[in-house]
Chains A and B, each alone.
Chain A
Amino acid sequence: MRDIDYDTTTATDYECIQCGTIVTADVNPVTCPECGAPVRNREMPIE
């Protein structure tokens, strides 16, 4: 299943699952700098 091509050359938005903070970074920060909860790559589908 070919989905939209992901752009791995630009900084990516990561959203905090808990507090909604958006972090733009080149690499996954893994945890939110505000509350420490896990973050999700906003460029990746959830379902």
Chain B
Amino acid sequence: MSSDTTPPSTQEHRPGSESEESDPESTLGTARRQLERAAGHLDIDPNVLERLKHPARVHEVFVPLERDDGTVEVFTGYRAQHDGVRGPFKGGLRYHPDLTREECVGMAMWMTWKCAVMDLPFGGAKGGVVVDPKALSRGEVERLTRRFTQELRGVVGPTTDVPAPDMGTDSRTMAWFMDAYSMQEGETVPGVVTGKPPVVGGSYGRAEAPGRSVAIVTREACRYYDVELSGVTVAVQGFGSVGATAARLLDDWGATVVAVSDVDGAAYDPDGIDPAAIPAHDEAPEAVTDHAPSVISNRELLALDVDVLVPAAVGNVLTADTAEEVRADLVVEGANGPTTFAADAVLRERSVPVVPDVLANAGGVTVSYFEWLQDRNRRSWSRDRVREELETELLAAWDAVREAHDRRDVSWRDAAYVVALSRLVEAHEARGLFP
């Protein structure tokens, strides 16, 4: 997409034009640091490494929206495409007022690592619109989405770039995106996005996927450390779809879940709680702590003396301070980025193993891959098949990371990124550099 033929509402930024100085804890700074740490364990071509530090392209678009009151407001949208050497770009679209171009680039890089760890035939991408969707009506969100789709139409597609829901977007948004794209293409193209409602090509098993992958990886990690799941105590921070699914599965498999939390605090019982009963389904949703024999704070949950700690709420909960208080024997990252760089160093120094998010919660992108496959074949899988295939993919990824962890004597996080980088480098070397 050259600048002299580029419509005024679409601009493309090449790596040389990046002017942001990324701080180490920014998404872009973190993604590049992870790349450099992994590269330090491998003998790779510095030319390939240099390519991976930069996105392939970043599209900036301007999306005019007619509000319900007739006024027109213009919003900025982005789609960062990091690396497509292994396949189409893959990553979410978010509607958030704090979205930045740099955020999209960093998250796109992180998606490249995640897809490579899971050995999915995708590269990484991320994008969205700088908007607060709560400030728009349903009709405005729909019009915004359809126009945004049109602005990105030339750079997305089932074999080029496949978006998905992210912060502030959902299956309804994806259905509108698919419809807008399909109407312009003249045919129904379900594979252009994932995260759709099942009736228009979405996959079963999507909601539970990230939590299920957390539970499976926790189970395998316990097995690695020769700990029977039936004797394991678990504390889960966050009782959203990830935390709740992980807690319930681990409980079903014999572990003792002693604490779960939401924003109001944590329910705690050292003898074990029943995650399936919290919260009880009722007309009015009730907080986790309303059903607790005793209540502790989220910070106290992070410091519980348990076998496994699963931060599954938000990012940056394990800081240098809270990491010093962790008494768990193992941390499994259910959320995206729950452990800061400084906390990671503290836990490493204290010999507390941390299974990283790019592996533990990769169930989401893996089931997205399954949805894409189902759409490409125009055939729907049952929920049981999705679960079986997810277990197969996760066990293969776990085995690869475990092998790197053992052979190279590195942390789980470094092992995951070594696996990812190895696969990316191999693909780049096989394909060479065009032209």
Contact = CB atoms under 8 A, between A and B. Distances in A.
Contact of A46 (B195, B239, B262): B195
Interface in B282-331: 283, 285-288, 314-316
Nearest to B91: A47
Interface stretch (B41-49, B67-75, B103-111, B393-401): B103-111
B90 to A, nearest CB: 7
A6 B283 CA distance: 26
A39 B207 contact: yes
Nearest to B106: A1
B190 interface: no
B279 A27 contact: yes
A1 B279 contact: no
A1 B31 CA distance: 7
Given A4-B103, A33-B283, A40-B170, 19 more contacts: A1-B110, A2-B25, A4-B96, A4-B99, A5-B315, A8-B314, A18-B198, A20-B197, A27-B262, A27-B264, A27-B287, A31-B281, A38-B207, A42-B168, A44-B167, A46-B165, A46-B195, A47-B111, A47-B164
Contacts of B91: 47
A20 B170 contact: yes
Nearest to A28: B240
A34 interface: no
B172 A13 contact: no
A26 B133 CA distance: 17
A25 B264 CA distance: 13
A45 B170 contact: no
Size band of the interface chain A makes with B: 20 to 34
A41 B171 CA distance: 12
B25 A30 contact: no
Contacts of A19: 197
A24 B94 CA distance: 18
Q: Which of B172, B241, B262, B314 has its CB near the most chain A CB atoms (within 10 A)?
A: B241
A27 B267 CA distance: 14
Interface string B95-136: 010110001001100110010000000000000000001100
B220 interface: no
Interface of B: 25-27, 30-31, 34, 90-92, 94, 96, 98-99, 103, 106-107, 110-111, 114, 133-134, 164-172, 175, 195, 197-198, 206-208, 210, 239-242, 244, 262-264, 279, 281, 283, 285-288, 314-316, 336-337, 340, 357, 364-365, 368
Given A20-B172, A42-B167, A5 B98 contact: yes
Given A3-B107, A28-B239, A30-B285, A45 B171 contact: no
Contacts of B207: 17, 37-40
> Chain A: interface secondary structure?
loop
Best-surrounded residue of A5, A17, A19, A31 (most CB of chain B within 10 A):
A17
B134 A47 contact: no
Interface centre among B27, B264, B285, B314 (most CB of A within 10 A): B285
B90 A47 contact: yes
A2 B285 contact: no
9 contacts: A1-B34, A2-B316, A4-B99, A19-B197, A30-B279, A30-B285, A38-B241, A42-B168, A47-B91
Given A2-B27, A27-B285, A46-B165, A39 B241 contact: yes
A34 to B, nearest CB: 12
B103 to A, nearest CB: 7
A28 B206 CA distance: 17
A11 B389 CA distance: 35
Contacts of B281: 30-31, 36
Contacts of B263: 8, 27
Contacts of A2: 25-27, 30, 315-316, 337, 340
Contacts of A33: 283
Nearest to B34: A1
A43 B167 contact: yes
Contacts of A38: 207-208, 241
A3 B337 contact: yes
A15 B171 contact: yes
